[in-house]
Chain A
Amino acid sequence: MLLALMTAVLISLPLWRAGLHGTGAETFAGTDGQAQELIAQTHPNYRPWIRPLWEPPGSEVETLLFSLQAATGAGVIGYYLGFVRGRVSAKR
């Protein structure tokens, strides 16, 4: 419980702080995008030599796929914990 709470605090603290300071739309940009910007600054002539084979059409679809990934993993963990809990209580 305590561990889950500490994690929740760690994740929500930056959000709360951003709310206080009222920062703009660029808030919480991905670090990969920031690295891209840095490369564009220091090496303006670099062009990526290959594009992704397929990109999710739009950020909503991307969000869907990311949540599917998280849900699949969480589902497997939940299944296993249910399975072993049942095994323990059947033994008792």
Chain B
Amino acid sequence: MHIMEGYLPIEHCVAWTVAAAPFVAAGARSISRRMEENPRVKLLLGVTAAFTFTLSALKLPSVTGSSSHPTGIGLGAVIFGPGAMTVIGLIVLLFQALLLAHGGISTLGANTFSMAIVGPWVSYGIYRLARRAGLSLGPALFFAAALGDLATYVTTSVQLALAFPDPARGVVGAMLKFMGIFAITQVPLAASEGFLTVLVMNQLIAYSRPELRDLGIVTKTETGGIAE
């Protein structure tokens, strides 16, 4: 769940917006460059956006007795790189802030930073590391999606802790409390997101191989090879 409208002091809103802006600009450039290089992956970019759209609308129950939603960012971060997902994440956040009163315009910068910058970069980094360590595509993608999801909500907790430090235990104390709400709830949801991401990727590997090959996700020799 995103930080609600008005629930960050104005200076924090400005600071997170300023911090997010260069990533958004770089993301927009990276999308347009990629589309120029290879127009046939345009539809696939739409699919990764749609995946984020769907997953971030699903408020799922968690073992903690509370609900939150996954982000769907990992799939696109692995296929198109983190920059592309910054732009897509921002669009989804804007939609939810304006039409659903979920998140907010004042907190858009902070929420963009957690869901559309930290999330995709962590996903992308984990995927790269896992592949280099010799993991096959399926498990690497699972960890990328799940940990990217989790990282988003750890970031949300940090952002709220900085704005609302605990009167007795300070920023760290508040961070633990907010993480108790956001991050713990998110653990099973992050695993769900990991499974769903691999599920969609399996379909793409089976039927959309040319596009994935263009993007360097699968090589010519690599067969799908993830448990269905």
Chain A residues within CB distance 8 Å of chain B: 1-4, 6-7, 10-11, 13-15, 17-18, 23, 27-32, 34-36, 38-39, 42-43, 46, 48-56, 62, 65-67, 69-70, 72-77, 80-81, 83-85, 87-88
Tell whether A66 pairs with B181 under 8 Å between CB atoms, given A30-B68, A34-B66: no
- Check A53–B105 contact: CB distance below 8 A: yes
- Check A67–B5 contact: CB distance below 8 A: no
B127 to chain A, nearest CB (A): 18
B181 to chain A, nearest CB (A): 5
Grouping DSSP codes into helix (H, G, I), strand (E, B) and loop, the A interface class, with mixed when no group exceeds half, is: helix
**CB-defined contacts of B49 to chain A, threshold 8 Å:** 73, 76
Identify 24 residue pairs between A and B in the complex whose beta-carbon atoms are under 8 Å apart, listed by A's number. Answer: A2-B228, A3-B196, A4-B195, A13-B188, A15-B61, A18-B65, A30-B1, A31-B185, A32-B2, A32-B3, A35-B1, A39-B7, A48-B6, A52-B101, A56-B99, A56-B101, A69-B56, A70-B54, A70-B57, A72-B50, A73-B54, A76-B46, A76-B47, A88-B207
Additional A-B contacts beyond A50-B106, A70-B58 (9; CB < 8 A): A4-B195, A11-B192, A14-B65, A17-B63, A28-B67, A43-B164, A50-B5, A80-B208, A84-B208
With the chains together, A1 CA to B195 CA distance in Å? 11
Tell whether A31 pairs with B181 under 8 Å between CB atoms, given A50-B6, A73-B54, A77-B50: yes
With the chains together, A51 CA to B5 CA distance in Å? 6
Segment of B23-31, B129-137, B197-205 in the binding face: B197-205
With the chains together, A27 CA to B65 CA distance in Å? 6
B8 to chain A, nearest CB (A): 9
Nearest first, the 8 closest Cβ-Cβ pairs linking A and B are A48-B6, A73-B54, A73-B53, A76-B50, A32-B1, A69-B57, A70-B57, A52-B101
**CB-defined contacts of B9 to chain A, threshold 8 Å:** 49
- Check A23–B63 contact: CB distance below 8 A: no
- Check B61–A4 contact: CB distance below 8 A: no
- Check B51–A29 contact: CB distance below 8 A: no
Q: Which of A32, A38, A80 sits near B47, CB closer than 8 Å?
A: A80
- Check A7–B196 contact: CB distance below 8 A: yes
- Check A36–B65 contact: CB distance below 8 A: no
**CB-defined contacts of B3 to chain A, threshold 8 Å:** 32, 35
